[in-house]
Each structure stands twice: as structure tokens, then as C-alpha cells.
Amino acid sequence: MASDDTIRICRLHGRDDLRIETQSAVPPGPGQVTVAIGAGGICGSDMHYFRDGGIGTIQVREPIILGHEAAGHVVALGEGVTGLAPGDLVAVNPSHPCGTCAFCTAGMANQCPNMTFLGSAMYLPHAQGLFRDRVTVGAGQCHPLRGDVSVAEAACAEPLAVCLHAARIAGDIAGRRVLVTGAGPIGAFCTAVAAQAGAAEIVVTDLEDMPLEVARRMGATEVVNVRTDASALDRLTADKGQIDLVFECSAAAPAIAQAVACLRPRGGLIQVGSAGPTQVPLNQIVGKEIVTQGSFRFDVEFAEAVAAIGTRRIDVRPAITGTWPMEQAIDAFAAAADRRRSVKVHLTFAGA
């Protein structure tokens, strides 16, 4: 940390232009909390911003502090804050819906058109993110972890919440045969969620062996490298398909086609991975009456993720495959992009 009055930040100025800079620290106002960030996960969206300058139509148009998966320790409380104390380990919820729009009042806060989502370039001005030594946010966005867990585990609350939301959309998973396509961080956590929910079988596919081994440790009953052994899925495509439920986490057209081929008639496809226009096998989706639904971010699931991590009811540790200090952010992003050696890569900060 630069000083009591300044903090270091990890700010993107444009494609391939990521800088470690300093800015003034912001003290907490009424109802706010200052958190010394200890760990922050590099998400696929962060990598798209860095490598491509944006995600589809969402483009970086002004300097933005990246990061929306982070945790740390409370260092200061603003007036009126209760339920938190200096030293508490908290996961920071990057999602801040307005609470008053038609979607918020209908229980769909993740669809809020007035959403402030930290580390997002969707709107101007951009919502500055969490890759910094300290951040001051509303107390309601800080969820304490009371268990004996690390700050790195706590920083996995956001991606785990994404997967818990997908599972809620899917409905009852117990006893069902599940396929997870794509063994990146979201695929790994979807695997863990399905295992904890009592799935009878969990098959995970990917193009690389390393993330598949992580998926096995997260609860997969079978892993398939579809680049080297695609025929291993033949048994799942027999007789119009054997899989009840797919969590599609890759957003890759070949994986979506394989998922639809493996699904039984009237099986469910939960599309968690997101990309631009993508070819899908509509004829098979229609012919087998596949129930298809997207899954976007999360709402109440953030608190559920924190509780699951705090008790290690869901153990996220196998997915954390690399940790880099903030000043080596460029190397960390390179590691995160290399799926032969990484699943979830974290930056560490002065609060660690």
C-alpha cells in the first residue's frame, strides 16, 4: 500500500494496456465500509477487457479498474454500520441493483437495468472494480465469513454465486445425470454445486487435461477430453441421449452441439457461458424438445455462496491454481489465459 492516503490500483487504459497506478484513498461515509482487499480472482470478462478491449458490444471507453471477484478484511466503518467489525473477513458483492425498478421488485434483481456492477464497462461512466489495495463500498455489499477459511477462498464467492444461480434455475438436481461442458472456473464450481446437490452422475468435458483433473477433485464422476477422446461421449448420445441436465459453461459452438446430442428428449440445457452470436443445433433442440434457459449472474445466491464457502460445504480450494502479487498482474493474466495450467488465478494485494 502506497501510504495511508493513497492506494495502488490495477487499471486498464485500453487493449493490452494494464497499469499499476496510485490514487487517493476514500474514507467510508455513513453506511459504508472500507475493505483492505486481500485476493481478487481474474474472470473471463477481465481477460476479454484486457486482450480484446471489450466483450462484444461492451467496449472499454475510459480507464477502468478491473476485478469483480474479491475479498479482504474490514479496516474502517462509516457511521451507522452494524454487524461488521474491523478485522472481519468479508467477500465483496460487486452487484448493486437499484432495488426499486420493476425487475427488482419482482424478485429479478439480477436483471436490474440500473445495476451498478463493479468492474463492468457496460455503462458510462464505467463501474470501477476491486483490483486495488482498499475499496470503500456499501456495508450491505460486504458479507462476513465466520469460518476458518482463507481470503482466497472468500474471493471465490462471486463465481460460486453464478453457479448457484444456474442450479436454482435448473431445479432439483438430486439423482439426475449431469453434463458440464467446459472445465474453467465456472465449470469447476458448477461441478461442485451439482455434486453437493446430489447428482447421480457428473460428466465434465474440456479440451485440456489440467482443468479436467480439477473438475474431478470438485466432484466429477467422469471427465472427458473431447479433443483427444471425443468417442468417450458415444455412450451418452445413444438412444437419443442419456443426460438429464447440462450446464454449458464454454459458450463454444462445438460444445453446445455435443451437449444437445447428449441430452435426452425434454432434457434441460442451462446456458451459463456467454459469447457473441453462436451457432446452435436448433433442429435437435426442437426435435428433442430440449428445455433451454440462460443463466445470468446472481442475486440472493451471493450470500448462499459465502455461507457454503465459510463452512466448506463447498470446497473451492481445488479450483485455485495460481496466485500472483498485484505488481505482476500482466504475468497473472497470461497465466489465467493458459488453460493448460490454470483454472482460477488470483491477484494478491496489500490486504493479504
**Which pLDDT belongs to residue 1?**
43
**Which pLDDT belongs to residue 3?**
53
The whole-angstrom separation of Cα 126 and Cα 121 is: 5
**Which pLDDT belongs to residue 57?**
84
- Residue in this structure with the C-alpha cell 482460477, named with its chain if needed: 344
The whole-angstrom separation of Cα 296 and Cα 166 is: 8
Buried b vs exposed e over 212-227: b needs ≥16 C-beta within 10 Å? bbbbbebbbbebbbbe
Q: What is the DSSP string of 63-104?
A: -EE---EEEEEEEEE-TT--S--TT-EEEEP-EE--SSSHHH
Domains of the chain: 6-156+316-348 (3.90.180.10), 163-294 (3.40.50.720)
User: Would you give the distance in Å from CA 134 to the centre of its chain?
Assistant: 21
**Which pLDDT belongs to residue 4?**
67
**Which pLDDT belongs to residue 169?**
97
SS3 224: strand
The pTM for the full model equals 0.96
**Which pLDDT belongs to residue 9?**
97
Q: Which residues in the chain land under pLDDT 70? A: 1-4, 351-352
pLDDT for 259-276, tens place per residue? 999 999 999 999 999 988
